């Protein structure tokens, strides 16, 4: 018997098993049509039992569901079930009173909306906003302070100590800097006008949809937003340092909308534009991936090029910018930090693979 016919026989066996289990499900779900039940059964079998070491589109869907439920998944939805994804799953299980097995059980899958008809209708939680009718000021602590600090960081204002939820002198001076930038009275207090201006940054941020970290590890990066650069310029991105030749990934589904070759400053560079108009700028590439050209449609995690040092730099790195809605850049640091995957060199699931 040839290998191919053995393989065929194996596939037939799997198909039979799927049909049998869908028949079993049909009994319990009663009125559902056979076709619906079969679809569900295939879904259930691809989700239930997922655990560390798996790489599949089902893993990607689970990661997307976790992200939608507000769980941080380092690396984003890359289709790889590694230690970070396991931790994220455990966090979700713990939060929801489920057994923290780190394996995608049927109950966990249901709670994530991966099973059953409600999956596609699941709406993401509305983004948190600063309460515009309450003044936030020095001496306060808690969630509102954290939101103020997060908005300041996205607005590109340095908040020493980060978003720690404590409104101390550093946060006060950051608020003043923001107020000066926006032409507001520099009170150092988050009054309604300041809260409104800060909330605008959350609106911008909600259009920044990053599903996959852009660089293959190992790598490293710091917050260098608005650090001085040659010719009186300021830095409008984040520099992710990695070895020459490490892969660069599309952070989400989108279209390559611009390519620059050998520019004196940015070297080989490209723009990836999402359907909502937000674009991501990748600079200093060593090479573009085969087939990458203006108009190319790419999907999240797809290899689009490699890390290099083309243009005005001597260090191999990715210069990465985020332009919400296609407008002015915002500080990309908090966005890349949220899905930091610099410790992983594992390549995300590539398009066309299951």
Q: Which residues bind Zn ion (CB under 5 A)?
A: 237, 239, 319
Nearer to Zn ion, 267 or 324 (CB): 267
Q: How far is the CB of 237 from Zn ion (least distance, A)?
A: 5
Give 163 or 322: the residue with its C-beta nearer to Zn ion. Answer: 322
Beta bridge partners of 130: none
**Minimum distance from residue 117 beta carbon to Zn ion (Å):** 46
The distance of closest approach from Cβ of residue 168 to Zn ion in the complex, given in angstroms and rounded to an integer, is 30
Q: Give the side-chain half-sphere CA count within 13 A for 305.
A: 29
CB closest to Zn ion, residue no: 319
3-class secondary structure, 346 = coil
Query: CB-wise, 64 or 219, nearer to Zn ion?
Result: 219
Longest CA span, the chain = 82
Asked if 55 and 349 count as a contact pair (C-beta separation under 8 A), the reply is yes
CA–CA separation, 311 and 259 (whole Å) = 14
Pairing of β 267-273 and β 254-263: antiparallel
- Compute the least distance from the CB of residue 284 to Zn ion, in Å: 8
Name which of 102 and 237 has its Cβ closer to Zn ion. Answer: 237
DSSP lists the bridge partners of residue 212 as 76
Cα dihedral across residues 305, 309, 310, 312: positive or negative: positive
Name which of 99 and 229 has its Cβ closer to Zn ion: 229
Nearer to Zn ion, 60 or 319 (CB): 319
Q: Compute the radius of gyration of the chain from its Cα atoms.
A: 23
Minimum CB distance to Zn ion, residue 342 (Å): 16
We find the least distance from the C-beta atom of residue 333 to Zn ion, in angstroms, to be: 11
Q: What CA–CA distance (Å, rounded) separates 184 from 196?
A: 11
Residue 324 DSSP class:
G
């Amino acid at each position: 018997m040839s290998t191919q016919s053995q393989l065929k026989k194996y596939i037939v066996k799997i198909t039979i098993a799927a049909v049998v289990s869908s028949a079993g499900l049909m009994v319990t779900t009663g009125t559902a049509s056979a076709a619906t039940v079969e679809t569900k059964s295939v879904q259930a079998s691809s989700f239930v039992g997922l655990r560390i070491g798996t790489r599949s589109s089902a893993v990607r869907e689970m990661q997307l569901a976790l992200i939608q439920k507000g769980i941080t998944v380092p690396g984003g939805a890359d289709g790889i079930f590694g230690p970070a994804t396991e931790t994220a799953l455990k966090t979700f299980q713990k939060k929801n009173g489920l057994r923290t097995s780190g394996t995608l059980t049927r109950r966990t899958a249901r709670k994530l909306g991966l099973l059953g008809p409600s999956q596609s209708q699941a709406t993401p939680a509305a983004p948190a906003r600063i309460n515009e009718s309450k003044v936030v000021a020095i001496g306060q602590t808690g969630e509102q302070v954290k939101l103020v600090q997060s908005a300041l960081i996205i607005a590109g204002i340095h908040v020493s100590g980060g978003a720690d939820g404590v409104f101390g002198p550093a946060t006060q001076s950051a608020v003043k800097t923001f107020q000066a930038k926006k032409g507001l009275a520099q009170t150092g207090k988050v009054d309604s006008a300041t809260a409104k201006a800060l909330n605008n940054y959350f609106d911008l941020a909600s259009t920044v949809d990053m599903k996959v970290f852009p660089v293959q590890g190992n790598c490293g990066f710091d917050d260098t937003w608005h650090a001085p650069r040659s010719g009186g310029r300021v830095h409008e991105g984040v520099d992710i340092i990695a070895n020459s030749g490490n892969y660069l990934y599309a952070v989400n589904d989108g279209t390559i909308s611009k390519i620059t070759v050998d520019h004196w400053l940015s070297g080989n560079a490209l723009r990836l534009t999402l359907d909502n108009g937000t674009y991501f700028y990748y600079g200093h590439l060593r090479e573009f991936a085969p087939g990458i050209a203006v108009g190319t449609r790419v999907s999240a995690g797809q290899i689009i090029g490699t890390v290099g040092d083309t243009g005005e730099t001597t260090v191999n790195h990715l210069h990465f910018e985020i332009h919400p809605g296609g407008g002015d850049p915002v500080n990309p640091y908090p966005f890349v930090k949220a899905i930091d995957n610099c410790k992983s060199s594992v390549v995300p699931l590539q398009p066309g693979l299951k």
